[in-house]
Structure 1
Amino acid sequence: MISINIPEEMSAATLPGNSTAKLEARRVPQPGHGEVLIRMKCSTICGSDIRCIYHEHLGKGPEGYQDGMIAGHEPCGQIVKAGPGCRRFREGDRVIVYHISGCGVCNDCRRGYMISCTSEKFRRAYGWQRDGGMADYLLAEEKDLVHLPDSLSYADGAQVACGFGTVYEGLEKVGISGNDAVLITGLGPVGLAAGALCRKLGARKIIGIDVIDDRLKIARDLGLCDEVLRSGPDNVDEVRALTGGHGVERTVECSANASARNTALRATRKWGRMVMIGEGGRLEMNPSPDMIHDQKMLYGSWVTSIWRMEELVERLVRWNLHPAELITHRFPLEKVNDAYALMASGRCGKVAVCFDEELA
Structure 2
Amino acid sequence: MHTMLAAYLPGNDTVEMRQVPVPTPGIGQVLIRMRASGICGSDVHYIYHGHRGTASHPEPLYQGVVNGHEPCGQIVAVGDGCRHFRPDDRVLVYHISGCGFCANCRRGYQISCTGRQKAAYGWQRDGGHAEFLVAEERDLIALPDSLTYEDGAFISCGIGTAYEGVTRADVSGSDSVLVVGLGPIGMAAAMIAKGRGAKRIIGVDTQPARLDAMRALGLADYLIPASPDALEQIRELTRGGADVALDCSGNAAGRLLALQGSGDWGRVVYLGETGHVQFEVSADLMHRQRRIFGSWVTSLANMEKCCHDLEDWKLKPHTMISHRFPLERADEAYALMASGRCGKVVITFDV
1:13 aligns with 2:7: yes
Which AA in structure 2 matches 1:274?
V
What do the CA deviations read for 1:29-59 (whole angstroms, capped 9, x no partner)?
1011000110000001111111111111112
Contact 1:73 1:126 in 2 (8 A): yes
Contact 1:101 1:125 in 2 (8 A): yes
Q: CA deviation at 1:62?
A: 8.9
1:41 aligns with 2:74: no
Q: Secondary structure at the match of 1:182?
A: strand
- Of all paired residues, the percent bearing the same amino acid is 52
2:169 — aligned with what? 174
2:16 — aligned with what? 22
Contact 1:64 1:128 in 2 (8 A): no
Q: Secondary structure at the match of 1:209?
A: strand
Q: After TM superposition, which residue ranges in structure 1, 4 or more long, deviate above 2 angstroms?
A: 60-68
| Distance in 2, Cα, partners of 1:65 & 1:41 | 26
Q: Secondary structure at the match of 1:356?
A: coil
Q: Secondary structure at the match of 2:324?
A: strand
| Distance in 1, Cα, partners of 2:156 & 2:269 | 20
Q: CA deviation at 1:273?
A: 0.4
Contact 1:64 1:129 in 2 (8 A): no
Q: CA deviation at 1:348?
A: 1.3
Describe the shift of the 1:207–1:54 C-alpha distance in structure 2 as closer, same or farther (beyond 3 A). same
Contact 2:250 2:275 in 1 (8 A): yes
**Residues 50-69 of structure 1 aligned to structure 2 (within 5 Å):** 50-59=44-53, 64-69=60-65
2:196 — aligned with what? 201
TM-score calculated relative to the size of structure 2: 0.97
1:118 aligns with 2:114: yes
Q: Secondary structure at the match of 1:241?
A: helix
1:79 aligns with 2:113: no
Which AA in structure 2 matches 1:269?
G
Contact 1:251 1:264 in 2 (8 A): yes
| Distance in 2, Cα, partners of 1:355 & 1:26 | 17
**Residues 204-219 of structure 1 aligned to structure 2 (within 5 Å):** 204-219=199-214
2:216 — aligned with what? 221
2:231 — aligned with what? 236
1:259 — aligned with what? 253
1:312 aligns with 2:306: yes
Contact 2:52 2:58 in 1 (8 A): no
What do the CA deviations read for 1:196-239 (whole angstroms, capped 9, x no partner)?
11111111111111111111110111011111111122221121
What do the CA deviations read for 1:245-298 (whole angstroms, capped 9, x no partner)?
x11110011001001111111111001100011010101111100010110111
Which AA in structure 1 matches 2:169?
V
CA RMSD of aligned residues (A): 1.3
| Distance in 2, Cα, partners of 1:16 & 1:213 | 33
Contact 1:177 1:201 in 2 (8 A): yes
Q: CA deviation at 1:63?
A: 7.7
TM-score calculated relative to the size of structure 1: 0.95
Q: CA deviation at 1:18?
A: 1.1
Contact 2:70 2:128 in 1 (8 A): yes
Which AA in structure 1 matches 2:237?
L
| Distance in 2, Cα, partners of 1:228 & 1:63 | 40
Residue number among 153, 157, 172 corresponding to 1:158 in the alignment: 153
| Distance in 2, Cα, partners of 1:296 & 1:95 | 39
1:274 — aligned with what? 268
2:102 — aligned with what? 106
1:3 — aligned with what? none
Which AA in structure 1 matches 2:27?
H
What do the CA deviations read for 1:293-348 (whole angstroms, capped 9, x no partner)?
11011100010000111111111111111111111111000001111111111111
| Distance in 2, Cα, partners of 1:325 & 1:154 | 12
Which AA in structure 2 matches 1:87?
R
Which AA in structure 1 matches 2:250?
A
Which AA in structure 2 matches 1:330?
R
Q: CA deviation at 1:88?
A: 0.4
Residue number among 162, 173, 187 corresponding to 1:192 in the alignment: 187
| Distance in 2, Cα, partners of 1:153 & 1:318 | 14
